[in-house]
């Protein structure tokens, strides 16, 4: 009998199995660390303390988490409709232009809380615009969304390069970036959030967009599981033919899903552009769009799961940086290996342990 | 017992003197990574040279993204490292923030300007060095067509291209210069295959000398030029030895010097803040001449390039700097 269909209690499915996968990932990472002659225990300790030990570390961890939540949600929304959006990277990049243009236009005149809603809309609109053409091509012409979205990453990168090198750059400056936004164009830091737990945020760039990310998680949950549109999206994702038989319009759902997906990716830009550096910099997304794919898959495309897996990647990013800083023997390439292990075990091989756990469960419960 | 005591005292004395003269230098690379055979590696070489001469250890860090760069600079400063050298214009804003937080720490930034009392900004006049190699290319070219392959399309690389074009035209006013940038993302610094393709394309159009200013991408440019029996020009480090007889010369940018001087000046307590613009005159940029390319540079070319060098130093030849107005008036 196949073990894949055996129902398991939720605590095993969503708690125990991911935890075991994670432990396996760290075990293998530990072996690699040991193989290059460093102490795995010390490394793990440095990683965890670096990410969660101090208020500043937590601030950095949550800063990375924020970006990954947005891109994770973006990927998840598309996956529910059976679309694989690999373009979150480019959509977030273009979203940065939307946020930056709003900030540049308004920061002289109004305080941040007036700028913010416009910036959120601007970022989402630009991100959605970037997803619109691939969506239309998929809906009307059947061009595969994976190919078109990934190609749009390059188109956006060229466009942004042109904008920053030619138009938005501060004349005479070497770095291709816009001027620094005034406080009216910046999102405030969440120092009070860290202070609530008795820590100090220090230089960590954790900012208001973290709260926006959490709100978006809730809204995505409502959309997918509590609205008619979400139902149609899920139906389309599970069976396009059944959806069409039920009268769900394919191209309409594809368009709407991709616009929402692109919008969510675009909002990711709020975090680095308006929250952390207060300027639009070249290549500010830095791979967060691609990490979003792993985050979404590991989080089982559910907002709650996405928050947890985004947090995990936040810990790996921040802890990894601290680790390679404090342990020079562990280079940045080693950190990529550890991150890869986590993706491999917790994402790609998530069902590896399932059969044996099912058997164990059946023996223990006597079913 | 007595012996142990003595050696203990001796050791204590030694470590005391070591402490007095020791500094804790730190180096933050650009996101290209330490071993790029070009820019970052040159910086690492400068630090290694300092270590060899003085025995003083240094710490370095390779950030993978912008947030990490700022974190690394701050971490080094807060742990008492001094001086903290950051070699990339990408750390400009990071350094502006961190240097203001640690006014007693000395900072150095390469390829950009940070106007603070404890920061030394080291700039290179890449246009002057590129002018010299452009002049050589213009003289060596038989087809009257030469190429330029840049890395990522940013002002800095356009500065290289602009100086190069001026040098070529100084030798052959009607010469044609093909220009290509490898890409618009950071990957453009590390894409030898694409660098090779661009070079092939330029060679097919008639170029017989190609100048690479593209980090590790340039390795592909040099390789392709060698495979097609054409000439190439290396960048940042002296790359003449990579394909002897095929690399016409290299535009050497002495990033190692900036790092070495920063460490050394701090050690000797002679650190000065402010802008240092290193051109041909300061030996900050130069064309490379060694055994590997001796045969390629005729006495006539050598005389011409040395004259150009002297003219630049004397100020009679002024090479236009792309950065001054974000345009290349050739």
Q: Do B104 and B131 have their domain in common?
A: no
- For chain B, the domain total comes to 2
Q: Residue B18 above 50 pLDDT?
A: no
Alpha carbon separation from A220 to A73, A225, A302, B70, B316 (Å, rounded): 8, 8, 9, 33, 67
In a domain, B133, yes or no: yes
Residues of A in contact with B68 (CB under 8 A): 321
pLDDT at B15: 46
Report which secondary-structure segment, H or E, holds A124: helix A112-136
Q: Do B221 and B234 have their domain in common?
A: yes
Beta-carbon separation of B67 and A272 below 8 A: yes
Q: Flag the least confident range among A161-170, A241-250, B71-80.
A: A161-170
CB of A105 within 8 A of CB of A350? no
Q: Residue B1 above 70 pLDDT?
A: no
Beta-carbon separation of B67 and A158 below 8 A: no
A22-34 per-position pLDDT tens digit: 899 999 999 999 9
CB of B151 within 8 A of CB of B89? no
pLDDT at A83: 95
Report how many Cβ contacts below 8 Å link chain A to chain B: 86
pLDDT at A312: 93
**Strand B247-253 versus strand B285-287 pairing type:** antiparallel
Comparing C-alpha atoms, which of A265, A304, A292 is closest to residue A347?
A: A292
pLDDT at B260: 95
Confidence of residue B105 (pLDDT cuts 50, 70, 90): very high
Comparing C-alpha atoms, which of B63, B53, B60, B34 is closest to residue B260?
A: B53
Beta-carbon separation of B70 and A203 below 8 A: yes
> What is the residue-wise DSSP string for A15-73?
IIHHHHHHHHHHHHHHHHHHHTTS-HHHHHHHHHHHHHTSHHHHHHHHHHHHHHHHHHH
Confidence of residue B14 (pLDDT cuts 50, 70, 90): very low
Q: Residue A360 above 70 pLDDT?
A: yes
Residues of A in contact with B63 (CB under 8 A): 321, 332
Q: Residue B11 above 90 pLDDT?
A: no
Q: Do B151 and B105 have their domain in common?
A: no
Shortest CA gap A221–chain B (Å): 30
Smallest Cβ–Cβ distance between A158 and the set B68, B75, B184 belongs to: B184
pLDDT at B20: 42
Residue of B nearest to A271 (CA): B67
pLDDT > 70: what percent of chain B?
93
Smallest Cβ–Cβ distance between A276 and the set B67, B113, B185 belongs to: B67
Composition of chain A by helix, strand, coil, percent to 5: 75, 0, 25
Beta-carbon separation of A169 and B93 below 8 A: no
In a domain, B135, yes or no: yes
Q: Residue B16 above 50 pLDDT?
A: no
Q: Do B117 and B145 have their domain in common?
A: no
Q: Mean pLDDT across the stretch B195-202?
A: 95
In a domain, B293, yes or no: no
Residue of A nearest to B72 (CA): A325
Tell which of B67, B76, B123 to mutate to test the A interface (max A CBs under 10 Å).
Answer: B67
Whether the link from the prior residue into B83 is cis, omega within 30° of 0, is: yes
Query: SS3 for B107?
Result: strand
What is the C-alpha to C-alpha distance for residues B167 and B160, in angstroms, rounded to an integer?
11
CB of A30 within 8 A of CB of A323? no
Residue of B nearest to A204 (CA): B71
Shortest CA gap A177–chain B (Å): 10
Q: Provide the β-strand partners of residue B183.
A: B152
Comparing C-alpha atoms, which of A311, A348, A316 is closest to residue A334?
A: A316
Q: Do B35 and B179 have their domain in common?
A: no
B21-67 per-position pLDDT tens digit: 578 999 999 877 788 777 888 899 999 999 999 999 999 998 887 78
Q: Which residue has the higher pLDDT, A6 or A27?
A: A27
In a domain, B41, yes or no: yes
pLDDT at B325: 82
Comparing C-alpha atoms, which of A310, A224, A226 is closest to residue A268?
A: A310
Q: Mean pLDDT across the stretch A210-227?
A: 97
What is the C-alpha to C-alpha distance for residues B172 and A222, in angstroms, rounded to an integer?
69
CATH of the domain at B192: 3.40.50.2300
Beta-carbon separation of A169 and B72 below 8 A: no
What is the C-alpha to C-alpha distance for residues B6 and B4, in angstroms, rounded to an integer?
5
Residue of A nearest to B62 (CA): A332
**Which residue do the tokens 């998530």 mark?**
A350
pLDDT > 90: what percent of chain B?
70
In a domain, B105, yes or no: yes
Residue ranges making up the domain that contains B307 = 127-253+298-325
pLDDT at B13: 46
Q: Do B58 and B197 have their domain in common?
A: no
Q: Residue B91 above 80 pLDDT?
A: yes
What is the C-alpha to C-alpha distance for residues A83 and A262, in angstroms, rounded to an integer?
12
Mean pLDDT score across all residues of chain B: 89
DSSP secondary-structure letter at B214? S
Shortest CA gap A132–chain B (Å): 23
Q: How many C-beta neighbours within 10 Å does residue B11 have?
A: 10
In a domain, B204, yes or no: yes
A65-98 per-position pLDDT tens digit: 999 999 999 999 999 999 999 999 999 999 999 9
Q: Flag the least confident range among A15-19, A243-247, B16-20, B272-276.
A: B16-20
CB of B231 within 8 A of CB of B208? yes
Confidence of residue B2 (pLDDT cuts 50, 70, 90): low
> With left for phi above 0 and alpha for psi between -120 and 50, is residue A287 left, alpha or beta?
left
What is the C-alpha to C-alpha distance for residues A45 and A319, in angstroms, rounded to an integer?
9
Interface of chain A toward chain B, CB-CB under 8 angstroms? 60, 63-64, 157-158, 160-162, 165, 169, 171-177, 180, 203, 205, 272, 276-277, 279, 281-284, 286-287, 321, 324-325, 328, 331-332, 335
> With left for phi above 0 and alpha for psi between -120 and 50, is residue B145 left, alpha or beta?
beta
Q: Do B163 and B99 have their domain in common?
A: no
Q: Do B106 and B6 have their domain in common?
A: yes
In a domain, B179, yes or no: yes
pLDDT at A296: 92
> What is the residue-wise DSSP string for A160-214?
HHHIIIIISSPTT-SS-B-PPPPGGGSPPB-HHHHHHTT---TT---BTHHHHHH
Q: Which residues contact A31 (CB under 8 A, 6 or more apart)?
A: A40
Beta-carbon separation of A174 and B60 below 8 A: no
Confidence of residue A12 (pLDDT cuts 50, 70, 90): confident
Angle, in degrees to the nearest 10, between helices A55-80 and A40-52: 90
Tell which of B30, B33, B62, B65 to mutate to test the A interface (max A CBs under 10 Å).
Answer: B65
Confidence of residue A249 (pLDDT cuts 50, 70, 90): very high
Beta-carbon separation of A60 and B67 below 8 A: yes
In a domain, B285, yes or no: no
Q: Do B247 and B220 have their domain in common?
A: yes
Confidence of residue B324 (pLDDT cuts 50, 70, 90): confident
pLDDT at B330: 52
Read off the pTM: 0.84
Q: Residue A172 above 80 pLDDT?
A: no
Alpha-carbon torsion, ordered A124, A130, A135, A138, to 10 deg: -160
Q: Do B37 and B138 have their domain in common?
A: no
pLDDT at B5: 53
Q: Do B95 and B198 have their domain in common?
A: no
The ipTM is 0.75
User: What's the token pair of residue A333?
Assistant: 């390439």
Half-sphere exposure of B209 (CA within 13 A, CB side): 29
Domains of chain A: 39-328 (1.10.3470)
Q: Do B100 and B39 have their domain in common?
A: yes
């Amino acid at each position: 009998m196949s073990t894949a269909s055996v129902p398991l209690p939720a605590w095993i499915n969503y708690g125990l199995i991911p935890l075991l996968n994670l432990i396996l990932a760290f075990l293998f990472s530990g072996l690699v660390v040991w193989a290059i002659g460093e102490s795995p225990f010390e490394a793990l300790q440095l990683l965890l303390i670096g990410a969660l030990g101090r208020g500043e570390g937590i601030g950095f961890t949550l800063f990375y988490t924020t970006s990954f939540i947005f891109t994770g949600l973006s990927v998840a929304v598309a996956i529910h409709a059976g679309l694989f959006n690999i373009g979150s990277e480019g959509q977030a990049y273009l979203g940065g232009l939307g946020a930056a243009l709003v900030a540049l236009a308004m920061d002289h005149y109004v305080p941040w809380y007036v700028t913010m809603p416009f910036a959120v809309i601007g970022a989402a609109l630009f991100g959605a615009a970037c997803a619109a053409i691939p969506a239309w091509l998929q809906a009307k012409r059947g061009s595969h969304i994976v190919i078109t979205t990934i190609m749009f990453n390059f188109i956006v990168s060229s466009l942004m390069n042109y904008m920053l090198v030619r138009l938005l750059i501060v004349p005479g400056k070497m770095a291709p970036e816009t001027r620094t936004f005034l406080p009216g164009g910046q999102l405030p830091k969440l120092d009070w959030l860290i202070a609530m737990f008795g820590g100090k945020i220090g230089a960590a760039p954790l900012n208001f967009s973290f709260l926006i990310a959490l709100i978006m998680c809730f809204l995505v949950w409502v959309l997918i599981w509590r609205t008619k549109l979400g139902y149609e999206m899920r139906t389309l994702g599970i069976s396009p033919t059944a959806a069409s038989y039920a009268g769900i319009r394919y191209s309409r759902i594809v368009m709407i899903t991709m616009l929402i997906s692109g919008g969510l990716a675009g909002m990711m830009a709020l975090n680095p552009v308006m929250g952390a550096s207060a300027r639009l910099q070249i290549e500010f997304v830095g791979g967060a769009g691609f990490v979003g794919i792993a985050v979404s898959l590991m989080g089982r495309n559910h907002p709650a799961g996405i928050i947890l897996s985004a947090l995990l990647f936040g810990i790996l990013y921040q802890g990894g940086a601290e680790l390679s800083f404090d342990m020079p023997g562990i280079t940045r390439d080693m950190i990529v290996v550890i991150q890869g292990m986590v993706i491999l075990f917790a994402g790609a091989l998530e069902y590896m342990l399932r059969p044996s756990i099912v058997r164990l469960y059946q023996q223990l419960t006597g079913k | 017992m007595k012996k142990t005591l003595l050696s203990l005292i001796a050791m204590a004395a030694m470590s005391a003197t070591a402490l007095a003269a020791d500094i804790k230098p730190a180096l933050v690379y650009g996101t290209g990574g330490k071993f790029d055979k070009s820019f970052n590696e040159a910086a690492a070489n400068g630090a290694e040279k300092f270590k060899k001469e003085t025995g003083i250890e240094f710490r370095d860090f390779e950030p993978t993204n912008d947030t990490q760069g700022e974190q690394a600079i701050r971490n080094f400063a807060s742990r008492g490292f001094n001086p903290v050298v950051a070699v990339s214009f990408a750390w400009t804003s990071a350094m502006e923030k961190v240097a203001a937080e640690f006014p007693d720490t000395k900072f150095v930034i390469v390829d950009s300007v940070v106007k603070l009392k404890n920061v030394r900004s080291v700039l290179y006049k890449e246009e002057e060095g590129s002018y010299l190699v452009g002049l050589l290319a213009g003289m060596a070219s038989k087809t009257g067509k030469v190429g330029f392959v840049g890395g990522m399309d940013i002002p800095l690389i356009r500065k290289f291209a602009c100086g190069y074009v001026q040098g070529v035209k100084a030798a052959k006013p009607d010469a044609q210069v093909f220009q290509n940038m490898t890409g618009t993302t950071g990957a453009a610094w590390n894409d030898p295959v694409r660098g090779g393709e661009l070079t092939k394309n330029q060679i097919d159009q008639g170029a017989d000398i190609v100048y690479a200013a593209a980090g590790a991408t340039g390795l592909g440019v040099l390789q392709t030029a060698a495979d097609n029996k054409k000439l190439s020009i290396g960048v940042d480090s002296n790359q003449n030895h990579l394909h002897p007889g095929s690399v016409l010369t290299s535009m050497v940018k002495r990033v190692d010097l900036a790092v070495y001087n920063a460490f050394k000046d701090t050690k000797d307590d002679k650190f000065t803040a402010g802008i240092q613009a290193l051109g041909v005159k300061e030996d900050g940029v130069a064309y490379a001449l060694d055994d590997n390319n001796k045969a390629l540079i005729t006495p006539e070319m050598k005389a011409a390039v040395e004259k150009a060098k002297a003219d630049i130093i004397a100020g009679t030849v002024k090479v236009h700097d792309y950065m001054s107005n974000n345009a290349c008036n050739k």
